[in-house]
Structure 1
Amino acid sequence: MHEYLALIVGGIANGSVVAIAAMGLVLSFKASGIFNFAHGAVGAVAAGIFYQLRVLNGVPWGLALVITLLVAGVGLGLVMERVAFFVSAASTTMKVVATVGVMISLTALFTLRFGGVKKQFPAFLPDSGFRVGGVNVGWDQLVVVVIGLAAAVGMTVFFRRTLLGRSMRAVVDDPVLLAHLGVGPSSVRRWAWIIGTVFASVAGVLIAPSLGLDGTSLTLLVVESFGAAAIGGFANLPLTYVGAVLIQVGVAVTTKWASGTDSLRSLPTVLPFVVLFLVLLLTPKRRLVEVGASLQQRVSMLPSPSWRMGAARLVPLVVLLVVLPELVGDHLLDWMQGVVFVILMMSLSLLVRTSNQISLCQMSFAAVGAVACYHLQDIGFPWPLAVAGAGLVAIPVGCIVAIPAVRLSGVYLALATLAFGIVMETAVYQTFLMFGADVTPLTALRPSFAQSDREYYYVLLVVLAVAFVLVRLLERSRLGQLLRGKADAPQALEALGIRNSVLQTVAFSAAAFFAGLAGAVIGPIFFVVGVGNFPTIPTSIMLVALLVLGARNPRLGTLGASVLGAVGLVVLPQYIGNSTVLSCLNLLFGLAAVEAAVASTRALPPTSRARARLRALLGRPVGPAADTAAPAAAVRSTPDRVLVAAESAAPTRKGVKS
């Protein structure tokens, strides 16, 4: 019994730290409608500043903490508020890309200053303790719990008793009334961002002594707070605190349960993300309404070029890919990986650019395809049939992910797919269904007719060509028009009797098929395939950001955007061996991602853009409803084409035409 009491005490202390981070995340989200994926990076930067001041410069820890909160908390809060303001009229995908860009830039700055090797972070709180009921309780644990409770209670009182607190509640409920009372909504949101980043900074400094000074670990730890934020409905701070404590107590208790059982050893790690996925899946849809949802625009698309223009752009790229083995020398394996990631990014393009959905679990689909191809070859399937079968096996997994997609959208769908991907990586990969408990890499065989690197490279080009043709046929088909119509006017399709849930399922199934193909062909490049080939974080998130950057010029099309993204993610880093240069490139890439998100709002005409800014400040539509939609010239499918496609698929007296 005493063992469990000690675990519960430790869980409460860890839960208080997670709760501080989660409450800051909720505060900024409820005031702006932007989910801050850079929240953990803010905590990492704060820990680095505190380490610089206290450990390297000898500043007393109290003064070092104050300076840290001013620089990381207030300073980065102001930066985040400006980013949030400029992307307020962007789509959810662009908002995710903007905060991911900030995360990448802050992580790069951290790496440039402190390197990529974990450093010991000396404890600054008292490490002695006392006994209560036979259980040792550290003073540092008590301090952390008191800070967490004080933050939860204090913010609750702040919201109910102070003018600024009531204004932060009103900025969500009725910003117009708030503006009429003489309180600027933008000023209120600025304070909300500052308080949110201060909470992230406090959490980063408090957790660093147990984790060490490691930018990646500190950045990703805050991901565990997403489940607590979901329990609080992304709005209720006291409930968020309770949720964080319960999750961490559960993690502590399941750690003991899983210590002697191999089948349960991943349970403590995966528990916060299972909670996140289930809460999003079971919460009534009416409670998951995004702030500023009426403002969102699609990833802008220009009308498809004629076949002559498409051929003129495609032929040089094809020629370059064919002669590439003669040009790259020893880097051919890197370019082979790049070809695979082009297929993977095309699969994501079906969701992001065609149907205006977002997925952060594409690597999970690829992992399923890799394992399926291994087993199909093992039972005697020829290599081409094994690859095609791997794509088909990934389709049911896409249908599973489509379940939350039917009832979720925007940032909630992004969080659900992220949780699904992390659950797959930390739990399912280790089962007998995937790579096994020992996570030994599987042997990946090349086809008998392509054993050399050059031969297999050309096989990959053939697979890429087939995938590209299939994607283009899908985009140009009536189904593709319906998918674009769902992105532009889902209510219109529902009114014509076309179920959006079916279209969402088809979109995720198609994306899973092509991602499964990519997973099936990536293993034979190095003759082995394992868990390390399919990380959800950061690869799945980076795929979305790189795809959007590649789509800055819509004339590039699906293939061009995918090629640029794959080269930036896989190929270019292999040519740069210097870690400092790579960190500088990551810094520039993060800034470019933010700029791309900001630039996406410039597709609006000046008048509509001004109205969008006003809607962002007030939190509700202002002016004609037509201003909320992207201009016809900026989307691939015009209203007439969408209507024709929808009518052709609508039920008739003779049955369903399509």
Structure 2
Amino acid sequence: MNQFLNYLVPGIADGSVYALAALGLVLTYKTSGVFNFAHGALAATAAYVFYEGYVEQDWPWPVAFLLSLLLVGVIGGLLLERMASLLSSAPTVTTVVATVGLLVLLQSLMTAIYGAADKKSGDFLPTGGPTVGDVRISYGDMMVTGFCLAAAAGLFVFFDRTRMGKAMTAVVDDPNLLSLQKGNPSVVRRLSWVLGACFASTSGMLLAPKLGVSVNVLVLIVIAAYGAAAVGLFQNLPLTVGGAFVIGILVNYFPSQAQKTDSLFLQSLPRNIPFLVLLLVFLFVPARKLTERGVRNARRFKPPRQFSPPVTRGGMAALALLLIAVPHVVTDTDVTVYSGFLAYAIIFLSLGMLLYMSGMISLCHLGFAALGATTSGKLMTLGFFGWLPLIGDKTVSWPVAILIGGLVAVPFGAIVAIPAIRLAGIYVAVATFGFGILLQQAFYLAPVMFDNGALVQHPRPGTEFSVPGTSKRFEPVEGTTAGLFGIDFNNEKNYYYLALTVFFLMAAIVLIIRRSRLGALLRAMSDSGVALEAHGANTNVMRVAVFCLSAFMAGVGGGVLAGVTQSASGSPGGVFDYTTSLVFVAILGFCGRRPIVSPLLAAFAFAVVKIYPPFDSPTMIDYRGVIFGALAIFVAIAPALNLGRFLGPRGKERDGEDSGTGSTQWRERIDITPGQPITVRTDADLALVGGKERSS
């Protein structure tokens, strides 16, 4: 009994904080249809504000607590409501760009002000309490648990019994209809966002004494509340609280069992229980129970105008010449940065194909890149024997290793595609985000990947390398791993052109698919998967195919990227960190929809801009993320503010576009000529009949 209490008591205490964070997330999504990826950043910001008042200014903790709740919960909630109302009919990718921009803005702002080191706020709730057996139950934990249960019960009664609660549920689907019933949609939305932000703020302040005031730790812990929200299907408050308590108990119990093994991979699984629960919900819960909320799913105000601008031969030739000339224009010390730029461009190519050709979204693309980097690196240094036993110990040449690295990412792409088959829109984004976190928290530690975060060597063709843990050293030999066409790719310009060659190959794949029948089918699926299925097409096969192809390209890009520094690391905050996948979507979101140019612009903004003035100054380095986050939010909400005329053709193009929201309306083009049959063309029709029109 005592042993059970050892896990039950802290599990319920942790579950209470998870529940508070999950309740805020469910409340805002249930009443607005906007999934707030910055929910954890709100909690971290509230913890820093509380730390400033309680520790730095030496105020009484109730004063610091109420001030943080006012600034982050009330004022922050009101600002978030305004942003959410502008995004209510926006496509999924736009809401992701805006909320991810807010996440990056708050993370960077807190780091710039308080530094990267953890802060200690100290316990402010009573730590004493009765002892049951060998377990002390603190009064502070009792207070938190009681507050959590009371809040959940109060919200349940509020939604079920009060007119305002029912109005909160109704406003998400049709605010105009609510206004006809003498309800004020703006007031309803403001109240829901203020309550949701207050729950997030409270969870952050309650977690700070246990975990320390650290923006990265608090964001990750609050993200773990996504698992509890998934148990409640992002709508049911009692199930959300119950799921939070179960997750809290499991997170406290399983580490004691995992410590019995020497495997770091198995030891990491208990702390990833929330993300495992999240993925299991998306894999096995019936799709009809996970329907998207929001006015965007009730009606479609504007049809999409164009999926991506046309690609001209002259433009492609000019772009190719510009890329070829780069090493002769920039300084020798900057060539390495441009090699990384090409590697990132390959990853952006794969993400752009997924976003704008098929209308699906992925928030785990750097995970695919990490799979490609570690696989190709180990094949070149350890051979098949060191990477997969009982196959052989011969090392693999660079091109073959890069190719195999991309292929290894394919089955993971197929696994990630399962939620895309069953669900749509924001749930796919959340599922891929959870997969990316699970991949980093658990699988990065597996021996076949980074193995406890150690560097994986990734030699270039024509360079010497040593085998980790041995005295073996390989010399460049033409035709083996260390040699390719007799060229020394240790030279930065030579490696740039090698990366450029791979980029051209990946770009050719994108263009070929874009101009093929498969590309037409993917664009039709992005416009309306239901309409395409009505024509007899198998959209499930297409979703899996495009996810697998995208994962393959990202894996290849990861191998090229690791070759820039000749190593790869899975350390938190590094190149392959899960948060970078979020940033990738946000950057690509405001770089346009062109299949080749937009990925290059995104890669340039991510990897190259920071080395030039004024972005290389110390002040800009500290606040670079703040500027990026503000820009991402502005670009996302600009169409709703009617700013398209200021943004030019690309801004107008985004105004009213829809990308994978699951709408069932087709995009039609009707040609009417007096005395002639009316010609109606839809994307689904053109795809299925090979591009020919039909007349009626």
TM-score by length of 1: 0.89
Judge conservation of contact 1:361–1:536 (CA < 8 Å) in 2.
Answer: no
Aligned equivalent of 2:598: 561
* CA shift digits 1:603-635 (9 cap, x unpaired): 999xxxxxxx99x9xx999xxx96x96999xxx
Judge conservation of contact 2:54–2:121 (CA < 8 Å) in 1.
Answer: no
1:540 to 562, 581, 586: 581
**Pair 1:238–1:48, CA change in 2 (3 A):** same
- TM-fit CA distance, 1:517: 0.6
Structure 2: runs of 5+ lacking an equivalent: 384-393, 462-482, 646-654, 671-679
**Pair 1:631–1:200, CA change in 2 (3 A):** farther
Aligned equivalent of 1:87: 87
- TM-fit CA distance, 1:286: 0.9
Aligned equivalent of 1:656: none
Report SS of the residue matched to 1:550: coil
Deviates more, 1:243-252 or 1:560-569: 560-569
Report SS of the residue matched to 2:171: helix
Judge conservation of contact 1:121–1:213 (CA < 8 Å) in 2.
Answer: yes
Judge conservation of contact 1:6–1:136 (CA < 8 Å) in 2.
Answer: no
Aligned equivalent of 1:190: 190
**Pair 1:129–1:225, CA change in 2 (3 A):** same
Judge conservation of contact 1:369–1:515 (CA < 8 Å) in 2.
Answer: yes
- TM-fit CA distance, 1:491: 2.1
Aligned equivalent of 1:635: none
**Counterpart Cα distance in 1 of 2:19 and 2:456:** 40
1:571 to 604, 608, 612: 608
Deviates more, 1:295-304 or 1:136-145: 295-304
* CA shift digits 1:215-259 (9 cap, x unpaired): 222222211010000001101112111111110110000111122
- For 1:278-427, list aligned pairs within 5 A: 278-292=280-294, 293-294=296-297, 301-312=307-318, 314-315=319-320, 317-324=322-329, 327-377=330-380, 378=383, 379-427=394-442
AA of the residue aligned to 1:425: Q
Judge conservation of contact 2:19–2:225 (CA < 8 Å) in 1.
Answer: yes
The structure where helix makes up a greater share of residues is: 1
- TM-fit CA distance, 1:572: 3.4
**Pair 1:573–1:630, CA change in 2 (3 A):** farther
- For 1:226-625, list aligned pairs within 5 A: 226-263=226-263, 264-292=266-294, 293-294=296-297, 301-312=307-318, 314-315=319-320, 317-324=322-329, 327-377=330-380, 378=383, 379-436=394-451, 438-447=452-461, 448=483, 449=487, 450-532=489-571, 535-551=576-592, 554=593, 557-573=594-610, 580-601=619-640
* CA shift digits 1:298-350 (9 cap, x unpaired): 696443143234434x25532443425xx233233322222111101101011
* CA shift digits 1:459-503 (9 cap, x unpaired): 111111111112111112221111111101222211221111011
**Counterpart Cα distance in 2 of 1:409 and 1:219:** 25
**Counterpart Cα distance in 2 of 1:579 and 1:206:** 34
Judge conservation of contact 2:425–2:662 (CA < 8 Å) in 1.
Answer: no
- TM-fit CA distance, 1:577: 5.8
Judge conservation of contact 2:345–2:600 (CA < 8 Å) in 1.
Answer: yes
AA of the residue aligned to 2:582: I
Judge conservation of contact 2:101–2:630 (CA < 8 Å) in 1.
Answer: yes
Judge conservation of contact 1:348–1:359 (CA < 8 Å) in 2.
Answer: yes
- TM-fit CA distance, 1:525: 2.0
* CA shift digits 1:104-146 (9 cap, x unpaired): 1122222232122211112211122221244211122111111
Report SS of the residue matched to 1:34: coil
Aligned-residue RMSD, C-alpha: 2.9
Aligned equivalent of 1:608: none
**Counterpart Cα distance in 2 of 1:270 and 1:299:** 42
Report SS of the residue matched to 1:269: helix
**Counterpart Cα distance in 2 of 1:642 and 1:306:** 24
- TM-fit CA distance, 1:160: 2.7
**Pair 1:112–1:371, CA change in 2 (3 A):** closer
Identity of aligned residues (%): 38
- TM-fit CA distance, 1:42: 1.0
* CA shift digits 1:377-432 (9 cap, x unpaired): 32343221222222222222211211111111111001111111122112122223
**Counterpart Cα distance in 1 of 2:209 and 2:20:** 16
The count of aligned residue pairs is 625
- TM-fit CA distance, 1:578: 5.3
**Counterpart Cα distance in 2 of 1:477 and 1:648:** 9
**Pair 1:126–1:580, CA change in 2 (3 A):** farther
Judge conservation of contact 1:104–1:590 (CA < 8 Å) in 2.
Answer: yes
Judge conservation of contact 2:528–2:662 (CA < 8 Å) in 1.
Answer: no
2:690 to 633, 648, 651: 648
Judge conservation of contact 2:531–2:684 (CA < 8 Å) in 1.
Answer: no
**Pair 1:630–1:540, CA change in 2 (3 A):** farther
**Counterpart Cα distance in 2 of 1:197 and 1:639:** 46
- TM-fit CA distance, 1:22: 0.5
- TM-fit CA distance, 1:172: 4.7
Report SS of the residue matched to 1:648: coil
Q: Determine if the alignment matches structure 1 residue 105 to structure 2 residue 109.
A: no
Q: Determine if the alignment matches structure 1 residue 222 to structure 2 residue 227.
A: no
**Pair 1:329–1:311, CA change in 2 (3 A):** closer
Aligned equivalent of 2:152: 152
Structure 1: runs of 5+ lacking an equivalent: 606-612, 633-637, 651-658
- TM-fit CA distance, 1:585: 2.1
Judge conservation of contact 1:496–1:647 (CA < 8 Å) in 2.
Answer: no
Deviates more, 1:524-533 or 1:78-87: 524-533
- TM-fit CA distance, 1:594: 1.0
AA of the residue aligned to 1:541: L
**Counterpart Cα distance in 2 of 1:303 and 1:577:** 33
* CA shift digits 1:503-555 (9 cap, x unpaired): 1011101101111111222222222223235534211111101111211xx4x
**Counterpart Cα distance in 1 of 2:596 and 2:522:** 19
**Pair 1:127–1:620, CA change in 2 (3 A):** same
Report SS of the residue matched to 1:446: coil
**Counterpart Cα distance in 2 of 1:338 and 1:61:** 48
**Counterpart Cα distance in 1 of 2:167 and 2:311:** 49
**Counterpart Cα distance in 1 of 2:619 and 2:124:** 31
Judge conservation of contact 1:394–1:513 (CA < 8 Å) in 2.
Answer: yes
* CA shift digits 1:565-604 (9 cap, x unpaired): 2223233345556554223221111111112212355599
Deviates more, 1:187-196 or 1:363-372: 363-372
Judge conservation of contact 2:348–2:588 (CA < 8 Å) in 1.
Answer: yes
Report SS of the residue matched to 2:137: strand
**Pair 1:316–1:550, CA change in 2 (3 A):** farther
Report SS of the residue matched to 2:331: helix
**Counterpart Cα distance in 2 of 1:175 and 1:336:** 50
Judge conservation of contact 1:298–1:487 (CA < 8 Å) in 2.
Answer: no
- TM-fit CA distance, 1:371: 2.8
Judge conservation of contact 2:411–2:548 (CA < 8 Å) in 1.
Answer: yes
Report SS of the residue matched to 1:456: helix
Judge conservation of contact 2:364–2:578 (CA < 8 Å) in 1.
Answer: no
**Counterpart Cα distance in 2 of 1:645 and 1:589:** 38
